[in-house]
Structure 1
Amino acid sequence: MLKQGENKKMTKEQFVFELEKIGAIKFGKFTLKSGLVSPFYFDLRDMISFPEILEGVSELLAERIKDMKFDVLTGIPYTALPIASLVASKLKKPLVYMRKEEKAYGTGKNIIGKFEKGAKCLVIDDLITTGASKIETAEAYEKEGVIIKDFVVVIDRSSKGKEDLAKSGYELHSLISLEEILDLLQEKDLITSEKINEVRDFTASISQPKKKKADVTNPLTLKLKKKIIEKKSNLVLSLDVTSQKEFFEILDEIASEIVMLKTHIDILDDYDENFVPKLQEYAEKYDFIIFEDRKFADIGNTVKHQYRNGVYKICDWAEFVTVHLVAGAGILKGLFDGMENRSSFVLARMSSKGNLINETYSRKCFE
């Protein structure tokens, strides 16, 4: 390992071997941000505890991008941010960064640092696998008036990352590729040929056409798919009105065209015991599914009573409901334990401005 204080600059080859020494190059089974399960993983987060490696990679990156045209520099939190800070200092360029969570106090700014609207920003990140997260980053900056054209990554572990970003109008630059790393490790007998083949097979598979998904077995999902095919429509009607008269007048006009009706039964000012039977008659006559957008969000025992009892007895007539998983997976057991032909849509994201759902919550819902 290079000693602190040495003037000799780190080479790309030395950088790879230093990563291997500190355990940043791992082999096994790892779930990536994209949801893919990879047989290898580059964990560059611990570089911040090794000043000589951090200094070395920042110098390599500074040399790589010194002739590129940009106004400000950023790093994608958290791993790339300290790297970008050093690079910005070396190149005498302003640093900005995007908060991972929207700020709810103070100035409320999402981008920290000084920049002008229309400023061209170069983005540094540690890795690229599919490019999806890079595009999300660019879109977030562009909403704030910052122009993103180029991404620079320490390691390109993708098979077609450059091409994928190019399709969206961005250019990818990298310090070192996966193939270069594999070759260097093999030269030093730090990886077997079998493991190299496994890594290459996985990387190649990312760009292959997706295999046909397993057949759906959920009966309500099958029912929904069947209706979409039969009616040649995927139209869902959201009837958020407060009177039965208006509700059924609208339904009369469009019922034959829809595959699903979304209701908010608790906003009806004149709800009575005749509403549900009439709604069920419409569903039978016009062949659509009833979906109550209740957004259940409490503990299992509470939602059980909200769903099955009370004034509305939602479980008796709504085949689908919406559910927040904020209370944990137990909410689903509370709702559906012992029930047949009832299902839900999990609310993993919301479109409303200022909502508190973040990426971590969404990912946990999918898991």
Structure 2
Amino acid sequence: MQTASRTPEQKQAGLTTARILLEIKAVNFRPEEPYTLTSGWASPVYVDCRKVISFPRARTTITQLMTAAILREAGYESTDAIAGGETAGIPYAAWISQQMGLPMLYVRKKPKGFGRNAQIEGEMKPGSRVVLVEDLASDGASKVNFVNALREAGAEISHSYVVFFYSVFPGALKSLNEIGVHLGYLANWWDVLEVAEQDGLFDKRKIDDVRSFLHDPVQWSKLHGGRAE
């Protein structure tokens, strides 16, 4: 299942990000022992974007690519603050807000339960136009909680960006589309597969298994003990 067509600039950003993630070994191909994602799907592949925090040159490049995507797609003077979701989105919010010269916020998964009982940390004026940034998305559902929290606090939010989007599961963007939020991303599994093949990083059997998953993820998940619909 391929995603919608991208511009040459978006495609190049995807390949660059994929190469970085492969180089720092944030990508794992394990078809013989599938991963179970938080959404319940079984997957032969897994990416850990948290590893980026330990690689300064990698994170600088990814920050620059994410910033360029936000400016290109959300607008040059249309964002008042950058928010990161607890916990993986927090470092990305810090780097991107610094790059863009904007205030940073972070969103808790739920109110902290004491003191101000806040779910949004940082200072945000009502009506602020906020972009939510995260490390990755498989089906977008986890972003809805963060978006709702920001809106309840008075933010205007119509854009969310991630470093990596699985982009293979059916209805992956439905939950975000229903609340009027566009999900932008840098890389997906097709980018990773392309770079992995070009550079000969995995044996043919693993590559073929991953390609099989990408073409029919629901059936692959069902056959490997994961979610089937």
Q: TM-score range by the shorter chain?
A: 0.7 to 0.9
Instruction: Check 1:187–1:152 CA distance in 2 against 1; reply closer, same or farther (3 A cut).
Output: same
Residue 174 (1) aligns with residue 185 (2): yes
Q: Secondary structure at the match of 2:28?
A: strand
Contact 2:164 2:186 (C-alpha < 8 Å) held by counterparts: yes
Instruction: Check 1:17–1:139 CA distance in 2 against 1; reply closer, same or farther (3 A cut).
Output: same
Over the residues paired in the alignment, what is the CA RMSD in angstroms?
A: 2.6
Residue 49 (1) aligns with residue 58 (2): no
- Residue 7 of structure 2: aligned partner: none
Q: Which 5+ residue runs of structure 2 have no aligned equivalent?
A: 1-11, 223-229
Match of 1:116 among 125, 129, 132: 125
- Residue 85 of structure 1: aligned partner: 94
1:232-251 alignment runs, 5 A limit = none
Partner amino acid for 2:29? F
Aligned partners of 1:179, 1:31: CA distance in 2, in Å?
19
Q: Residue by residue, what CA displacement relative to the aligned partner does 1:135-157 show, whole Å, maximum 9, x if unpaired?
A: 22212222222222111111121
- Residue 214 of structure 1: aligned partner: none
Q: Residue by residue, what CA displacement relative to the aligned partner does 1:328-352 show, whole Å, maximum 9, x if unpaired?
A: xxxxxxxxxxxxxxxxxxxxxxxxx
- Residue 26 of structure 2: aligned partner: 24
- Residue 153 of structure 2: aligned partner: 144
Segment drifting more, 185-194 vs 158-167: 158-167
**Identical positions, percent:** 28
Segment drifting more, 141-150 vs 126-135: 141-150
Q: Secondary structure at the match of 1:175?
A: strand
CA offset at residue 165 of structure 1? 2.9
Aligned partners of 1:173, 1:201: CA distance in 2, in Å?
25
Q: Which 5+ residue runs of structure 1 have no aligned equivalent?
A: 1-9, 212-367
Q: Secondary structure at the match of 1:66?
A: helix
CA offset at residue 97 of structure 1? 0.8
Aligned partners of 2:114, 2:200: CA distance in 1, in Å?
53
How many residues are paired up? Answer: 201
CA offset at residue 11 of structure 1? 6.3
Contact 2:15 2:187 (C-alpha < 8 Å) held by counterparts: no
Contact 2:132 2:159 (C-alpha < 8 Å) held by counterparts: yes
Instruction: Check 1:83–1:202 CA distance in 2 against 1; reply closer, same or farther (3 A cut).
Output: same
CA offset at residue 200 of structure 1? 4.0
TM-score normalised by length of structure 1: 0.50
Aligned partners of 2:211, 2:90: CA distance in 1, in Å?
29
**Greater relative contact order structure (CA < 8 Å, 6+ sep):** 2
Instruction: Check 1:132–1:206 CA distance in 2 against 1; reply closer, same or farther (3 A cut).
Output: farther
Aligned partners of 1:206, 1:135: CA distance in 2, in Å?
23
Aligned partners of 1:143, 1:207: CA distance in 2, in Å?
35
CA offset at residue 184 of structure 1? 1.0
Segment drifting more, 42-51 vs 103-112: 103-112
Partner amino acid for 2:69? R
Match of 1:76 among 54, 73, 85: 85
- Residue 64 of structure 1: aligned partner: 69
Aligned partners of 1:102, 1:26: CA distance in 2, in Å?
34
- Residue 194 of structure 2: aligned partner: 183
- Residue 297 of structure 1: aligned partner: none
Partner amino acid for 1:20? L
Aligned partners of 2:102, 2:133: CA distance in 1, in Å?
13
Instruction: Check 1:197–1:147 CA distance in 2 against 1; reply closer, same or farther (3 A cut).
Output: farther
Q: Residue by residue, what CA displacement relative to the aligned partner does 1:250-297 show, whole Å, maximum 9, x if unpaired?
A: xxxxxxxxxxxxxxxxxxxxxxxxxxxxxxxxxxxxxxxxxxxxxxxx
Aligned partners of 2:209, 2:175: CA distance in 1, in Å?
23
- Residue 5 of structure 1: aligned partner: none
Q: Residue by residue, what CA displacement relative to the aligned partner does 1:92-149 show, whole Å, maximum 9, x if unpaired?
A: 1111111234223332221111112232211111111111112222122222222221
- Residue 109 of structure 2: aligned partner: 100
Q: Residue by residue, what CA displacement relative to the aligned partner does 1:169-211 show, whole Å, maximum 9, x if unpaired?
A: 2211111222112111110111344434433443454568x98
- Residue 198 of structure 1: aligned partner: 209
Contact 1:24 1:43 (C-alpha < 8 Å) held by counterparts: yes
Partner amino acid for 1:78? T
Q: Secondary structure at the match of 1:172?
A: strand
TM-score normalised by length of structure 2: 0.77
Compare CA radii of gyration and give the structure with the larger one.
1
Aligned partners of 2:20, 2:147: CA distance in 1, in Å?
31
CA offset at residue 73 of structure 1? 0.9
